[in-house]
């Protein structure tokens, strides 16, 4: 009987110290701590066994050497300078002027439309592909 009373008193006393159960989310998307985000992402990536056979590495630069990347950046810089010098010849006092500019690879036509807008058409001489857009002053 004494053992039964001791057991009952232990059960009653442990219940008396219990607090309310409160749900605390872990995922920051559902209100959890934002510092859990990187950890959850790393766990998900570690568990992901699927790979895309058509995907290349980060930003589509698979297998490119540093020399290839440098050459691409240099080419982009040169094309930017050429575009800047062409744009200087297309503008007069800050306004686009109708006319045609020919380069070795492109033909740029600027046509004045009836409503005061300008139609700019760029044509690739090698492929014949062209793109057009309209500019409103």
- What is the rounded CA–CA span in Å between residue 49 and residue 40? 16
User: What percent of the chain has a predicted confidence (pLDDT) above 70?
Assistant: 72
Tens-digit pLDDT profile for residues 92-119 = 666 777 888 888 888 888 888 888 888 8
As given in the structure block, the two tokens for residue 58 are 């980060």
pLDDT of residue 118: 83
Give the predicted TM-score (pTM) of the model.
Answer: 0.40
Strands (E), 12-94: 91-92
Q: Assess contact for 132 and 111: CB atoms under 8 A.
A: no
Tell me: the pLDDT tens digits for 2-61? 666 666 666 555 555 678 888 888 888 888 888 888 888 889 888 988 877 666 555 555
Beta-bridge partners for 37: none
């Amino acid at each position: 009987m004494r053992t039964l009373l001791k057991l009952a008193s232990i059960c009653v006393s442990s219940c008396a110290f219990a607090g309310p159960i409160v749900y605390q989310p872990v995922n920051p998307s559902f209100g959890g701590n934002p510092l859990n985000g990187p950890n959850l992402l790393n766990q998900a990536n570690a568990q992901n066994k699927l790979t895309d056979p058509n995907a290349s590495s980060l930003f589509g630069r698979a297998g490119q050497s540093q020399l290839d990347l440098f050459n691409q950046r240099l080419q982009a810089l040169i094309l930017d300078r050429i575009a800047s010098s062409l744009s200087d010849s297309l503008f007069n006092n800050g306004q686009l002027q109708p006319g045609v500019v020919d380069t070795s690879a492109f033909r740029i036509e600027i046509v004045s439309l009836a409503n005061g807008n300008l139609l700019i058409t760029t044509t690739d001489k090698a492929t014949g592909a062209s793109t057009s857009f309209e500019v409103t002053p």
